[in-house]
């Protein structure tokens, strides 16, 4: 059961990484340590650290306005790419995509 | 008697002398004279000196007794004329009151030394006596007190002072009896007066007035002093002498203590922090139960101790009721720092999977945004780069109706399979169910059902493998997650697409003895009324199969079971046998039914298309005879479909290259359409406009608009090379058409520039039909 689930999750991750325009995927654990990535080490660490801070700030902002609310998704669109962050309590999923490709 | 004393008194007129007598007191008890005399004597003794009083101490006992018995003796003074000029005491001591709290008060005054009336009165005199009183025995003190009382009374009689005479304590008990209620209630006047000033410190001022007597002396002295001061400087008489204070040697003493460790502690309080702390006791319980459950999760390659560690940390986390939410973010999920285990845990968590889903859809949303926007008829956001090119394209495209290819649902699972059926979910219009037939490769299972979501055109939400090629699909309306699948081997299965588990098959008809043994060509969930009076609508599953039976399925204990609605009997063409003897129609075999459709409003009436090309109209209530038979086609009827907008109008398409438009009450079709000489595989009405329908031939997609032309389709979309189009589906509320082909692709096309008005065009269709009607007669 767990094996197939794991396989399914792995498959989904691979599909995401293979999508059109996706530059990289990073999975960060609760401590801010990237545990799975498709980018090089320095970039990964930089993205992990910076987006963790940004996510915490964004979550704090959302919850300050209404404590019963919570952050579910964060998208940062820049000139060159779009960074999508799925924040959770114990992990962070960061995907960098270039949609205009 | 009195005269005698008076005479004595007159002798000593000048002075009122009270001559002392020593022991005459006792003897003079009886007589008044004696009494007076004795009192006089005793009093004088006392008045003279205190020491005499002491001398009397010896006879105190005797005196006491006498005192006990004798009443208070009053001194009387008589002058020459024997006038009683005894100075009256200004204050008559109340004997009862005095006796009551006699000695106690007296002693208190001595001890306290307070400047009360009594002490003031007796102060200067009691002091010497007090020593004696306290030192000596009680009895003696009492006697001296007694003496003193009398003395005081006499000597201070002139004084305007209330004197409270403490009496012998021994008398006190007896006196108490005398104190009656009246005495207590009696209002006693207490006079308070100022006492003498007691000087504690007297520093006389050094200032003297100029007018004072010794002012001159003072001034003289001052001047002398000033001169002295003046003469002092430079005078040999005065020598300066210095004095030095020797400072003692200082001794250093050092003390050392541990440095105080200072720890800075700060916290940022936010609104959500306070909210979390408030509801954290409840959440902690939930979290505890969740986390404990997760700790039990089977993890590949994890030590048991690791799991125990985690549960311990969970327990400790749960015990702390007040967990700051900022800490929650930093909290480690496990006690280890092993990234591998973290990854495993994270990846297996539900939330991660959900995150992945959302992420994938977001990414695809980015990629497919223009297409999806076009599908949903939203204004398409154009990339700034390609604006110029877009404009050129727009200028080129004419106003003619056309289809634009948006995207195609396809994945590697479905590649090589032919799309046999497509159906929209009744509840979620974004969900598409697609049934695939045989695959080219023999590796995979023969049948496949995919549930696609519009939000993800690259991978199906669900992919269910079936045991045989799928020939028909339908979603239920009552239970929107139930999908009925009809297969080539005749079995029908119902799947629940809500669950992630792709192996979940809710029901199957494989055990049913009545099941179809030939391919189920069409399935339909239809709502039917239970009773004729329009009771509740019950949904049932109907199927038509190649064994010529139309069955109604219902769920029983062991799966599905069916009852036959109709058996499609072969009907011979009676015209052929008209000349000969009338023979009954040969009910040999049943003819396969290929398609059926229920009337949109009257769900008990349905049409069936057969392999022979006949179309029968049947009723659910009559399972023996057809209501009507429509003959036109001479090849298998591939599809029949009622018009959703125009009543009693239906279309049929057949392998004889034609499409026929029928009206219910006419035996012959009203209109027939043909374009190319290939079989028409599928036909569907356009849901929005009554005059538009689409048809799929193997090599092209045709869109017909009867308003514009009844001879030719208005849009023709050729199939991709090497691919045959197989099925067709229109999307509600959008202008899109989906085409499934033999390569497993479901292509979505957008219909553009259909020059149709706003109305549903029913009247136009009616008009067309009416104009066509005379031809059919």
Q: Which two tokens stand for residue B50?
A: 């205190």
B382 secondary structure, DSSP code:
P
Query: For A23-32, B334-343, B471-480, B754-763, which range has the lowest pLDDT when averaged over its residues?
Result: B334-343
Q: Of B272, B362, B366, which has the smallest distance from its Cβ to A64's Cβ?
A: B272
Please report, rounded to a whole number, the percentage of residues in chain A having pLDDT higher than 70. 95
User: And the tokens for A93?
Assistant: 């999923």
pLDDT of residue B289: 60
- Six token digits for residue A60: 């704090």
Instruction: Return the pLDDT at B69.
Output: 46
Does residue B592 surpass a pLDDT of 80?
yes
Contact B146, B168 (CB under 8 A): yes
- Report the length, in residues, of chain B: 777
Cα B734-B737-B743 angle, rounded to 5 deg: 145
Question: B465: closest CA among B482, B481, B487?
Answer: B487
Q: What average pLDDT does range B747-753 have in this prediction?
A: 85
Residues of A in contact with B350 (CB under 8 A): none
> B349: which chain A residues are within 8 Å (Cβ-Cβ)?
90-91
Mean pLDDT of B133-139: 44
Residues of B in contact with A67 (CB under 8 A): 271-272, 274-276
Residue B580 has pLDDT above 80, yes or no: no
Query: For residue A20, which residues of chain B lie inside 8 Å, CB to CB?
Result: 367
Q: Strand, coil or helix: what is B715?
A: strand
Contact A16 B346 (CB under 8 A): no
The confidence band for B762, taking pLDDT boundaries of 50, 70 and 90, is confident
Question: What pTM was computed for the model?
Answer: 0.60
Phi and psi for B240 in degrees, rounded to 5?
Answer: -75, 135
Model pLDDT for residues B350-395, shown as the tens digit of each residue: 788 888 888 888 888 888 888 888 888 777 666 555 444 445 444 4
pLDDT confidence of residue A84: 93
Work out the angle between the directed axes of helices B117-135 and B138-155 (0-180°, nearest 10): 150
Which ipTM value was assigned to this complex?
Answer: 0.85
Find out whether B234 and A28 touch, Cβ atoms under 8 Å: no
A17-31, A36-50, B487-501, B563-577: least confident range: B563-577
* Contact call for A16 and B347, based on CB within 8 A: no
**Which residues of chain A make contact with B297, given a CB cutoff of 8 A?**
2
Distance CA B489, CA B418 (A): 17
pLDDT band at A43 (very low <50, low <70, confident <90, very high): very high
Which of B276, B332, B342, B455 is the best mutation test for A, with the most CBs of A within 10 A? B342
Contact partners, residue B464, CB within 8 Å, separation at least 6: B448, B449, B450, B451, B485, B495, B497, B502
Largest CA-CA distance found in chain B, in angstroms, rounded: 201
pLDDT confidence of residue A101: 54
Contact B329 A89 (CB under 8 A): yes
More confident residue, B151 or B191: B191
Higher pLDDT pick, B446 / B405:
B405
Q: Which of B102-106, B321-325, B603-607 has the lowest mean pLDDT?
A: B321-325
In sequence order, what are the residues at sequence separation of 6 or more whose Cβ sits closer than 8 angstroms to the Cβ of residue B308? Answer: none
Tell me the shortest Cα–Cα distance from B448 to chain A, in angstroms. 18
Higher pLDDT, B254 or B16: B254
The two three-digit tokens of residue A33, written as one number: 């340590």
Task: Name every residue in B having a CB less than 8 A away from some CB of A.
Answer: 270-272, 274-276, 297-300, 328-333, 337, 339-340, 342-344, 346-349, 351-353, 355-360, 362-364, 366-367, 369, 383, 385, 458-459
* pLDDT (average), residues B62-81: 58
Mean pLDDT of B472-477: 88
Contact B171, B104 (CB under 8 A): no
What's the CA gap between B662 and B601, in Å, rounded? 17
Dump pLDDT digits (tens) for B153-176. Answer: 444 444 444 444 444 444 444 555
Q: How far is A6 from chain B (nearest CA, A)?
A: 6
Q: Quick one: pLDDT band at residue A48, thresholds 50, 70, 90? A: very high
Which is nearest to A94 in space by CA: A6, A16, A10?
A16
- Closest CA–CA distance from residue A91 to any residue of chain B (Å): 7
What's the pLDDT score for residue B583? 44
Q: Using the predicted structure, report yes or no on whether residue B658 has a pLDDT greater than 90.
A: no
Reported confidence tier of residue B133, pLDDT bands at 50, 70, 90: very low
- The whole-chain average pLDDT of chain B stands at 70
Residue B667 has a pLDDT of 83
Q: Measure the CA–CA gap between B400 and B753, rounded to whole angstroms.
A: 6
Q: Are B32 and B1 in contact (CB under 8 A)?
A: yes
Q: Is the pLDDT of residue B25 over 80?
A: no
The secondary structure of B83-114 as a DSSP string is -B-PPPPSS---HHHHHHTHHHHHHHHHHH--
Average pLDDT over residues B415-427: 87
Taking alpha carbons only, the member of B1, B158, B9 closest to residue B83 is: B9
């Amino acid at each position: 059961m767990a094996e197939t689930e794991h396989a399914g999750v792995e498959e989904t991750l691979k599909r995401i990484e293979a999508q059109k325009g996706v530059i990289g995927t990073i999975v960060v654990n609760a401590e801010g340590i990237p545990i799975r990535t498709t980018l090089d080490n320095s970039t990964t660490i930089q993205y992990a650290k910076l987006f963790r801070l940004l996510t915490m700030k964004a979550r704090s902002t959302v919850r300050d306005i209404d404590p019963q609310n919570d952050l579910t998704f964060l998208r940062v669109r820049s000139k060159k790419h779009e960074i999508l962050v799925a924040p959770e309590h114990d992990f962070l999923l960061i995907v960098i995509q270039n949609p205009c490709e | 008697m009195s005269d005698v004393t008076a005479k004595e008194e007159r002798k000593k007129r000048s002075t009122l002398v009270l001559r002392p007598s020593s022991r005459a007191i006792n003897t003079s008890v009886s007589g008044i004279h004696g009494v007076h005399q004795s009192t006089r004597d005793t009093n004088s003794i006392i008045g003279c000196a205190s020491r005499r009083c002491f001398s009397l101490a010896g006879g105190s006992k005797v005196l006491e007794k006498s005192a006990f018995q004798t009443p208070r003796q009053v001194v009387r003074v008589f002058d020459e004329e024997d006038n009683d000029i005894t100075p009256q005491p200004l204050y008559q001591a109340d004997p009862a009151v005095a006796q009551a709290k006699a000695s106690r008060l007296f002693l208190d005054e001595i001890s306290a030394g307070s400047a009360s009336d009594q002490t003031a009165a007796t102060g200067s005199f009691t002091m010497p006596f007090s020593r004696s009183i306290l030192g000596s025995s009680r009895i003696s003190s009492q006697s001296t007190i007694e003496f003193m009382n009398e003395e005081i009374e006499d000597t201070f009689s002139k004084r305007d002072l209330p004197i409270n005479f403490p009496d012998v304590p021994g008398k006190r008990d007896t006196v108490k009896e005398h104190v009656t209620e009246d005495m207590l209630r009696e209002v006693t006047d207490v006079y308070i007066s100022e006492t003498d000033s007691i000087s504690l410190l007297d520093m006389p001022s050094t200032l003297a007035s100029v007018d004072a007597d010794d002012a001159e002396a003072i001034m003289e002295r001052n001047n002398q002093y000033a001169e002295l001061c003046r003469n002092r400087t430079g005078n040999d008489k005065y020598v300066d002498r210095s004095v030095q204070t020797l400072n003692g040697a200082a001794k250093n003493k050092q003390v050392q203590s541990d440095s105080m460790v200072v720890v800075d502690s700060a916290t940022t309080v936010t609104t959500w922090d306070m909210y979390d702390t408030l509801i954290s006791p409840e959440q902690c319980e939930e979290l505890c139960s969740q986390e404990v459950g997760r700790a039990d999760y089977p993890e590949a390659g994890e030590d048991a101790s690791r799991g125990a560690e985690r549960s311990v940390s969970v327990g400790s986390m749960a015990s702390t009721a007040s967990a700051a939410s900022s800490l929650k973010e930093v909290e480690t999920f496990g006690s280890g720092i092993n990234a591998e285990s973290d990854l495993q845990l994270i990846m297996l968590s539900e939330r991660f999977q959900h995150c992945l889903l959302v992420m994938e859809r977001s990414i695809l949303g980015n990629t497919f945004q223009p297409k999806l926007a076009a599908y949903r008829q939203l204004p398409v956001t154009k990339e700034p780069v390609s604006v110029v090119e877009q404009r050129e394209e727009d200028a080129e495209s004419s106003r003619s109706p056309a289809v634009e290819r948006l995207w195609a649902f396809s994945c590697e699972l479905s590649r090589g399979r032919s799309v046999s059926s497509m159906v929209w979910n009744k509840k979620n219009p974004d969900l598409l169910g697609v049934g695939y037939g045989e695959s080219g490769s023999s590796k995979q299972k023969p049948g496949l059902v995919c549930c696609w979501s519009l939000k993800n055109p690259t991978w199906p939400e669900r992919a269910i493998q079936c045991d045989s090629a799928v020939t028909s699909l339908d979603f239920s309306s009552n239970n929107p997650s139930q999908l009925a699948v009809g297969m080539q081997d005749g079995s029908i299965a119902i799947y629940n697409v809500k669950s992630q588990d792709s192996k979940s098959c809710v029901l199957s008809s494989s055990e049913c003895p009545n099941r179809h043994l030939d391919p189920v060509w069409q399935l339909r969930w239809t709502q039917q009324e239970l009773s004729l009076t329009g009771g509740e609508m019950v949904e049932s599953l109907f199927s038509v199969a190649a064994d010529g039976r139309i069955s109604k399925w219902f769920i029983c204990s062991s799966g599905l079971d069916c009852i036959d609605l109709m058996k499609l009997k072969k009907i011979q063409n009676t015209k052929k046998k008209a000349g000969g003897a009338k023979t009954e129609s040969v009910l040999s075999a049943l003819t396969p039914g290929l398609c059926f459709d229920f009337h949109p409003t009257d769900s008990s009436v349905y049409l069936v298309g057969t392999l022979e090309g006949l179309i029968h109209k049947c009723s659910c209530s009559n399972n023996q005879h057809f209501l009507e038979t429509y003959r036109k086609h001479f090849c298998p009827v591939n599809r029949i479909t009622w018009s959703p907008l125009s009543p009693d109008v239906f279309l049929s398409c057949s392998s004889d290259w034609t499409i026929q438009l029928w009206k219910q009450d006419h035996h012959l079709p009203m209109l027939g359409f043909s374009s190319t000489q290939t079989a028409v595989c599928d036909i569907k009405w356009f849901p929005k406009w009554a005059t538009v329908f689409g048809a799929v031939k193997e090599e092209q997609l045709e869109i017909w608009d009867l308003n514009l032309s009844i001879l030719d389709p208005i849009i023709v979309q050729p199939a991709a090379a090497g691919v045959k189009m197989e099925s067709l589906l229109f999307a509600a509320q959008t202008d899109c058409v989906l085409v499934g082909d033999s390569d497993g692709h479901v292509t979505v096309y957008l219909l553009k520039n259909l020059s149709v008005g706003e109305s549903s065009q029913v009247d136009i269709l009616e008009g067309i039909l009416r104009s066509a009607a005379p031809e059919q007669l």
